[in-house]
Amino acid sequence: MTGAAPLLEVTDLAVEFRTPGGVVRAVDGLTYQVEAGRTLAIVGESGSGKSVSSLAVMGLLGPTAHVTRGTARLNGTDLLALPPREHRARCGQDVAMVFQDALAALNPVLTVGFQLTEALRARHRISRGEARQRAVELLDLVKVPHARERVRDYPHQFSGGMRQRVMIACALALDPKVLIADEPTTALDVTVQAQVLRLLAEIQAERQMGLVLITHDLGVVAGVADDVTVMYAGRAVEQAGVLGAFRSPAHPYTRALLQSVPQLGSRTRLPVIPGRPPGPGDRPAGCPFHPRCALAQDVCRADPPPPLVEAAPGRWSACHFAGDVLRGAAVPAETTPEGDPR
């Protein structure tokens, strides 16, 4: 983290769902910030709360969910304290979101040209011609070929990768300062994923946007993120620059997760984390990772979940033994990139 004033600053966010089985806390005290021109990856497995937290920031939670704690400051204004109308107006304008499944997120009965300029037309009086022109520009921006003709097409007429580009264009329509992308390439094939990730990185660098990239794929994190927040069971368990987090994780979960990623290099038996990630409704007492943690001690089971503490400069970890993990986790220097073409 560079020390520049953050664009988006989420502090101690908590989100609860009311379910027939009782109140479930999906996000429990999440803090992160993203600066202009930087990419923060929020990584976690299913049920970790990574998607719910971004929906909360965007004011898109359903009727059963509500924010019980915390702030989300965008340029100093707390979005979560705004009346819903104003919150909605800010979203799209200053902070926009790209969703995982473009086929579900785009309206199938409206042309992409219409959807690209919907936000623009809702806020400004512009003519039909201007709107069309703007839609073409947006498609050009995300490198959809033949943009002038394609604005008249419907979402189903695009391939998966192109549809994802259309959704990115929609999010960029009002020139947001922060873009939240929730698993933007998970549904795509790997060769197409590479194209879309590169496009996102280019646009972000060019516009000096802050990018929050939500993903479960550690390869994607390593490829594009500057900073990383690792979530487990509704909490951030580690925050660091991406190099530090990958080289010498300061939380046992991060370390175990990195080890469990299958490698291309050679055939090995996959190291695994025993058990499974807890759902929001069945989180254990104490540190939520303790039933799966190789280092767990009595304190991990008995004490309340440890808070994020700075184990070393810029290295935050929510583990009672963060310092030990950090020191013991040095990755040998010969772990260099795979032989890569060109």
Partner 1 sequence: MSDVVLEVRDLVKHYPVRRGLILRRTVGAVRAVDGVSLALRRGSTLGVVGESGSGKSTLARVLVGIEEPTSGQVLVDGTDVSTMSRADRRALRRDVQMVFQDPYTSLDPRMSVSEIVGEPFAIHRTIPRGGRDRAVRELLELVGLDPDHANRYPHQFSGGQRQRVGIARALALRPRILVCDEPVSALDVSVQGQVVNLLADLQAELGLSSVFIAHDLAVVRNIADSVAVMYLGRVVEDGPADSVYDGARHPYSQALLSAVPVADPTVRLSDGRGILLEGDPPSPVSPPSGCPFHTRCWLAPTLPEASVPVPEGEEVQARRVPPSCSGEVPLLVGAGGHHAACHFARPLAEVRR
Binding site for partner 1 (CB under 8 A): 45-46, 159-162, 189-195, 197-198, 201-202, 205, 216-225, 242-243, 245-247, 256-258, 260-274, 276-277, 279, 292, 335-338, 340-342
Q: In terms of CB distance, is 82 or 222 closer to partner 1?
A: 222
CA distances from 325 to 231, 251, 306, 314, 315 (A): 17, 6, 14, 15, 12
Q: Which two tokens stand for residue 82?
A: 């705004």
Q: How far is the CB of 265 from partner 1 (least distance, A)?
A: 8
The distance of closest approach from Cβ of residue 10 to partner 1 in the complex, given in angstroms and rounded to an integer, is 23
C-beta of 240 vs 308, nearer to partner 1: 240
What is the spatial distance between Cα 88 and Cα 266, in angstroms, rounded to a whole number? 49
The CA-based diameter of the chain, rounded to the nearest angstrom, is: 68
| Cβ at position 113, least distance to partner 1 in Å | 21
Give CA–CA dist 33/28, Å, rounded.
16
Nearer to partner 1, 10 or 220 (CB): 220
Burial class from Cβ neighbours inside 10 Å (0-12, 13-18, 19+) for residue 196 reads buried
Report phi then psi at 113, rounded to 5: -60, -45
Alpha helices (runs of H) in 151-260, residue ranges in sequence order: 160-172, 190-207, 218-224, 242-247, 252-260
Question: CB 295 → partner 1: shortest distance, Å?
Answer: 16
CB of 219 to partner 1, least distance (A): 3
279 vs 307, beta carbon nearer partner 1: 279
Q: Please work out, in degrees rounded to the nearest 5, the angle formed at the alpha carbon of residue 181 by the alpha carbons of 180 and 184.
A: 175
Q: Cβ closer to partner 1: 69 or 216?
A: 216
- Nearer CB in complex with partner 1: 8/258: 258
Which is closer to partner 1, CB of 69 or CB of 143?
Answer: 143
Residues 6+ positions from 152 with CB-CB distance below 8 Å: 111, 113
Least spacing, CB of residue 316 vs partner 1, in Å: 17
Residue 99's contacts (CB-CB under 8 Å, 6 or more residues apart) are 105, 167, 182, 184
Distance CA 110, CA 83 (A): 30
Nearest approach, Cβ of 189 to partner 1 (angstroms)?
4
